[in-house]
Amino acid sequence: MRALLVVNPAATTTSARTRDVLTHALASEMKLEAVTTEYRGHARDLGRQAAESKDIELVVALGGDGTVNEVVNGLLHNGPDPDRLPGLAVVPGGSTNVFARALGLPNDAVEATGVLLDALRESRERTVGLGVARGTAGTEDESVPERWFTFCAGLGFDAGVIGRVEQQRERGRKSTHSLYLRQVVRQFLGEANRRHGTITLEQPGADPVTDLVLSIVCNTSPWTFLGNRPVYASPKASFDTGLDVLGLSRMSTPAVARYGTQLLTSSPERGPHGRHATSLHDLTDFTLHSKVPLPLQMDGDHLGLRTSVTFTGVRRALRVIV
């Protein structure tokens, strides 16, 4: 098997020595070309080159969720074709590694490499569904190109938090759970639309859901992790179905306390619920419109401000080694 290993040298939980050990371990089982990313978007370019090659059968992403997202967008540049495209394997190297953990992989890079090698020897793989988002036709965002996401997207509050975290990281702060929690508080205090939401969710054949402050789109469950604790925004979300959405129409102090507690105590059986919470399951196509520009995130990457985004859940989009 010929494989491409995409290595993010800035991966937060692996050292250069660890990455070298993992590379040698993988190279002992396959014909491996290892490339270290050098700029933002490099992993996407490498994924596209692998998809357009005739002999690469597997792409291994060694990094966090951002690296995985870039590789996936490169692999799917010309659309999904699981039977033709190289498979994807993930060695977690980021701070949270939601996609890898949602697949059932260990959060430790060395252990995950061992699982990956066993999976290759035993030909274990699955074909997962993914989400794709694009600017909505007929709006000012219609020229925004489509982008795939593996586990989540969000328009509004949660994307604002991620934008704040990225600003802090650019100033040299480490990505920690306490950093995220501080930015949640700051985003809440600065949220101008927390009492009267500006987001409307529209889907074919259903009444619109209006006045949302927060909209979280999930492709799998859990939504994220706080340390080793999984957090379930949409417990029914799955790689085998369409997309799920959690929307909140109120973010007053009592509402944030209530729904924040529900998130922290969520389980595979129950997520946030109540008068101002809307949960939708297994959606194929829908659009989020906002009366004002709001931040958009996908797989934990802040993508700027948007007023209208159309989402599609694509079943059986990519083969993954597990």
Helices (runs of H) and strands (runs of E) counted in the chain: 8, 16
pLDDT at 181: 79
pTM value is 0.93
Cis amide bond preceding 235, omega within 30: no
Stretch 151-166: mean pLDDT: 89
Q: Which of 77-81, 189-193, 253-257, 298-302 has the lowest mean pLDDT?
A: 189-193
- Decide the pairing of beta strands 2-7 and 31-36: parallel
Per-residue pLDDT band for 185 (boundaries 50, 70, 90) equals: confident
Q: Which long-range contacts (CB under 8 A, 24 or more apart) does 107-115 make?
A: 107/228, 109/13, 109/14, 109/18, 109/22, 109/62, 110/18, 110/21, 110/22, 113/22, 113/25, 113/26, 115/322
Instruction: Show the tokens assigned to 83.
Output: 């039977």
Let me know the angle formed at the C-alpha of 304 by 303 and 305, rounded to the nearest 5 degrees.
130
Helix H or strand E encompassing 20: helix 16-27
pLDDT at 171: 80
Cβ neighbors of 303 (< 8 A, separation 6 or more) are 147, 159, 295, 296, 297
Residue 138, classified by CB atoms within 10 Å of its CB into exposed (0-12), middle (13-18) or buried (19+), is: exposed
Stretch 140-166: mean pLDDT: 92
pLDDT at 180 over 80: no
pLDDT per position as a tens digit, 4-59 = 999 999 888 888 899 999 999 999 999 999 999 999 999 999 999 999 998 999 99
pLDDT at 195: 66
